[in-house]
Structure 1
Amino acid sequence: MEKNIYDVIGIGIGPFNLGLAALIDQTDEIDAVFFESTPEFIWHPGMLIEKMDLQVPFLADLVTFGDPKSPYTFMNYLHEHDRMFPFFFHRHFEVPREEYNHYMQWVAKQLSGLHFGHTVVDVLDKKEAEVPHYEVVVEEKATGKQKYFQAKHVVMGTGNDPLMLDGMESLPNEDVLHTSRYLFEKDHLLKAKHVTIVGSGQSALEVFLDLLEEQERHDMKLSLLTRSGGLFQLDTAKFAQEMFTPDFVDYFHQLNFKQRNEALDTLGPLRKGIDPDTLTRLYTKLYHRTAGMKDSQVLIQPMTEIKGIEACEDGYHLQCRQWQEEIEYTYPSDKVVLATGYKPHIPSWFMDRFGDEIEWEDDLMYKVSRDYQLVFNDKRDHHFFTLTNLVHSHGAGATNLGLSVHRNVHIINTIAGKEIYRNQKESTFQQFSMKDYQ
């Protein structure tokens, strides 16, 4: 057992906790350690498709919004890798996803408090101890050996799991797969006569466009079935983007649970839309391909729900429903790629240890304070922060890379009990609340 009590232990090392570690690294105020089950840092390896960019500008890196002077900024990464001039001439605010992954790996290699290949298997609440704290049980994957660490606070950043349709988990990965495995199974897909993508978001379009470019070298039909009413563009208008600011998070969080859910419904174009450049690339590709002919090898069908997938002798049958016309039909395909999104990954030990100790807003949504603490039934000074499952409490920006730095600044300042990093304030031209005028 580790004898010293850390200020904070981070559970999981994705972009959010990696950014937290990078900010903590530049202060002497906080002693921290982080654990991750995977052997090294890699971000969505199954979707690092060439030519695909982030949907946010390069300033939304791990640290800039909290500390632009940090050595871990994306600009310093470019400088260290002799890419300042190429990036300057490239003239794009958005970073290629593959390069952003390499940037984060570069940061991870410089931080000493990160432990990969270690899975957190339990967290014990030592609230009766002389100094209340959490005991974190960690299993080293290579040896199976368990270690025990103590911390006054913990930060859960356990990310998301692929969201599969019911009954599809048992189907072969090389035939019916989630987009998170796309690049791992791409060779199998390219051998098929017919590939169907199910979904209407950014991931669905990226896979569809990538396969469309490959299709010219393969005899393959390509279909896209979407439940939404069409392929709708992400709202990138300036005032719409102000919903990804600390000011809007302040406003959103103080609404009651019902009001927050209603507000999320109105923010659909900010959460689920497709990048305009991706749509333009796809439309241009289809336009050029169909000059003087009709392309029977490509189908895009909106307003179509997938009710199930059944294996058959020559592939798979998708049970479909065109919900507007209320027509049900069967659609055959050799392979199926599910761009069905993700769900929060909540570790199994969490409910066992803390399910009855915290407040809930409904059966699935725990209550979270403005500074990202779980709200316990008792008063406490040893806090359990969460970076996971926050859309219901902090809005559409809960998964936004830029706002993740704002979130980490909140957490660091709360742990330190003082302002270590300054948070941005009054950052919008719009005013959301009228409470100051009452």
Structure 2
Amino acid sequence: MTDQPAVTPDRPHDLVGIGIGPFNLSLAALAHGVPAAPGHPHPLAATFYEQNPAFHWHPGLLIDGATLQVPFLADLVTLADPASPWTFLNYLRAHDRLYPFYFAERFHIERTEYDAYCRWVSRQLPGLHFGHQVDAIRWNTDRHLFEVDFTQLDPAGEAEALGRAYTRHIALGVGTEPFVPEPLRPLTDAGGLPVIHSADYLHHRQELLDAGHITVIGSGQSGAEIFLDLLRTRPHGAEKIHWLARTPAFAPMEYSKLGLEHFTPDYTRYFHALPEAVRDTLVPGQWQLHKGIDADTIAAIHDELYRRTLHGTWPDATLTPGVTVRTAGRIAGRLSGTRIELHLSHTQQATRTRLTTDAVVLATGYRERPLDTLLAGLAPRIRRDASGRPRIDEAFRLDLDPTVTGHIYVQNAERHTHGVGAPDLGLAAWRSATILNDLTGTTPYPLPQRTAFTTFGLAPRPAPRVPGQGAARSPQDEYR
């Protein structure tokens, strides 16, 4: 962490980033050394605050062998600036590992390596302040600046000092938080039971392995990886694992080359231009683009299950899609202590049953972290859509009252306006570059005009030509 500079209304920051996950780390890396404005002799004055004591990316899910679902080129900077010192390849070079990586021929790197790469960047970039919790944001109408109040935390997470920063613009990158469906909240609220979210899996792995029977809930990549990891460590013939999912199948992620074009700037722009009601109908139907399971993981699960049939018995592992958990609670076991009872219903069969288990892993995904508390001081100035969500323009700026002359940019809080690519690492560098180009009023990062072979919409039909003005229309014009 760098020393906190003296920041006053007379010497404000150009940009304050709140949260240091991969997306704001990407923004910080690309902002490093960028001029603040056209002809400005000094680089952009940017600082970033994060309440955690250091950078860590999903530490509870860094399972051995688990890989990113995007190529290594989807690092913090490469797709906007492949010559940046903060590329993944430069990280390998700095650690004398370029040749081993070259011969490994890996397009998808392990999550642990991506985490190590991001930590390497975070330790070298100036202006990153870990152990700083942002408490409030306000607009100072006299100074035409944002005020950012924060609490500096000690290593134990206790308040150590209070501070305030002034800035022309803000970038919110507070990330997502684990989601627990309503029927399962009684289990997590009660405590004292081995019911954990997948985000904390590795922190409780041994406790889960010691359980007699384990149930994994959730059909996405995390649920699949956790099921596979548990399966590999359970004894043959006595695995005692259930894997339940709401989806009608344990479906592979859409990973065809044209399907992946939904994660391009072209599709993002197309999606943003659609009416709000249309956007809202699209996102739920696109779950397989980002909530399916990697085909290699599905194959590995099937291979492991098949190996366990070689001696003539089937594994004690039950995989059931199309299941909804209606309610959940605790019951007293006959021969053991408290157990967990799940009340299930099957969507297609319209049947119900109960499942008793000793431990539950909730691979139920994440939700965007609410911004209302952090932005409470700006609430009257934020314009919202018909569903009460913040409006976000094409440049990733909150739609604010015109009296607020500064911008608040958002990262991974705009799925409702920008589509399924919002949380995708492959769009991180492009979004960061878009923000910096807009913020500086220049193009420090020239961006491609076209990124997909797919044309996602029809071009508007030209206005009819008025007789006597220009060429006459032909019948074919009706179809152009």
Q: Could you say which residue in structure 2 is the equivalent of 1:129? A: 142
d(CA) in 1 for partners of 2:344, 2:355: 7
Letter in 2 for 1:341: G
Letter in 1 for 2:100: P
Q: What's the offset of the Cα at 1:436? A: 4.5
Aligned length: 436
d(CA) in 2 for partners of 1:88, 1:337: 37
Q: What's the offset of the Cα at 1:378? A: 2.7
Q: Could you say which residue in structure 1 is the equivalent of 2:447? A: 423
Contact preservation (8 Å) 1:52, 1:96? yes
Q: What does 1:30-429 align with in structure 2 at a 5 Å threshold?
A: 30-126=44-140, 128-130=141-143, 132-142=144-154, 143-166=159-182, 167-172=186-191, 175-216=194-235, 220-314=239-333, 315-347=339-371, 349-378=373-402, 380-429=404-453
Q: Could you say which residue in structure 1 is the equivalent of 2:7? A: 2
Q: What's the offset of the Cα at 1:307? A: 1.6
Q: What's the offset of the Cα at 1:361? A: 1.7
d(CA) in 2 for partners of 1:33, 1:268: 35
Q: Alpha carbons of 1:348 and 1:419: their partners in 2 closer, same or farther (altered >3 Å)?
A: same
d(CA) in 1 for partners of 2:190, 2:100: 45
Q: Could you say which residue in structure 1 is the equivalent of 2:466? A: none
d(CA) in 1 for partners of 2:327, 2:412: 29
Q: State which drifts further: 135-144 or 210-219.
A: 210-219
Q: What's the offset of the Cα at 1:220? A: 4.2
d(CA) in 2 for partners of 1:119, 1:180: 21
Q: CA RMSD in A?
A: 1.7
Q: What's the offset of the Cα at 1:354? A: 2.6
Contact preservation (8 Å) 1:317, 1:332? yes
Q: What's the offset of the Cα at 1:235? A: 0.9
Q: What's the offset of the Cα at 1:435? A: 3.0
Q: State which drifts further: 278-287 or 160-169.
A: 160-169
d(CA) in 2 for partners of 1:60, 1:231: 26
d(CA) in 2 for partners of 1:179, 1:269: 19
Among 15, 26, 30, the alignment partner of 1:23 is 30
Q: What's the offset of the Cα at 1:171? A: 3.2
Q: What's the offset of the Cα at 1:252? A: 0.7
d(CA) in 1 for partners of 2:89, 2:369: 32
Contact preservation (8 Å) 1:11, 1:34? yes
Q: What's the offset of the Cα at 1:351? A: 4.8
Q: What's the offset of the Cα at 1:377? A: 3.1
d(CA) in 2 for partners of 1:66, 1:239: 21
Letter in 2 for 1:400: D
d(CA) in 2 for partners of 1:409, 1:119: 26
d(CA) in 2 for partners of 1:390, 1:404: 13
Q: What's the offset of the Cα at 1:358? A: 1.3
d(CA) in 1 for partners of 2:265, 2:442: 19
d(CA) in 1 for partners of 2:322, 2:236: 30
d(CA) in 1 for partners of 2:29, 2:145: 23
TM-score (norm 1): 0.96
d(CA) in 1 for partners of 2:164, 2:204: 38
Q: What's the offset of the Cα at 1:405? A: 1.0
CA deviation vs aligned residue, 1:329-363 (integer Å, no higher than 9, x gap):
11000000000111111245335223332121244
- Of all paired residues, the percent bearing the same amino acid is 34
Letter in 1 for 2:364: T
Contact preservation (8 Å) 2:75, 2:425? yes
Q: Alpha carbons of 1:14 and 1:371: their partners in 2 closer, same or farther (altered >3 Å)?
A: same
Q: State which drifts further: 347-356 or 284-293.
A: 347-356
CA deviation vs aligned residue, 1:232-285 (integer Å, no higher than 9, x gap):
001111111111111111111010111112222442221211111111111111
Q: Alpha carbons of 1:418 and 1:220: their partners in 2 closer, same or farther (altered >3 Å)?
A: same
Contact preservation (8 Å) 1:369, 1:375? yes
Q: Could you say which residue in structure 2 is the equivalent of 1:11? A: 18
Q: Alpha carbons of 1:360 and 1:232: their partners in 2 closer, same or farther (altered >3 Å)?
A: same
In structure 1, stretches of 5+ residues that fail to align are none
Q: What's the offset of the Cα at 1:379? A: 5.1
d(CA) in 1 for partners of 2:151, 2:54: 16
Letter in 2 for 1:154: I
SS at 1:95's partner residue?
coil
SS at 1:151's partner residue?
strand
d(CA) in 2 for partners of 1:79, 1:204: 34
Q: What's the offset of the Cα at 1:418? A: 1.0
Contact preservation (8 Å) 2:60, 2:201? yes
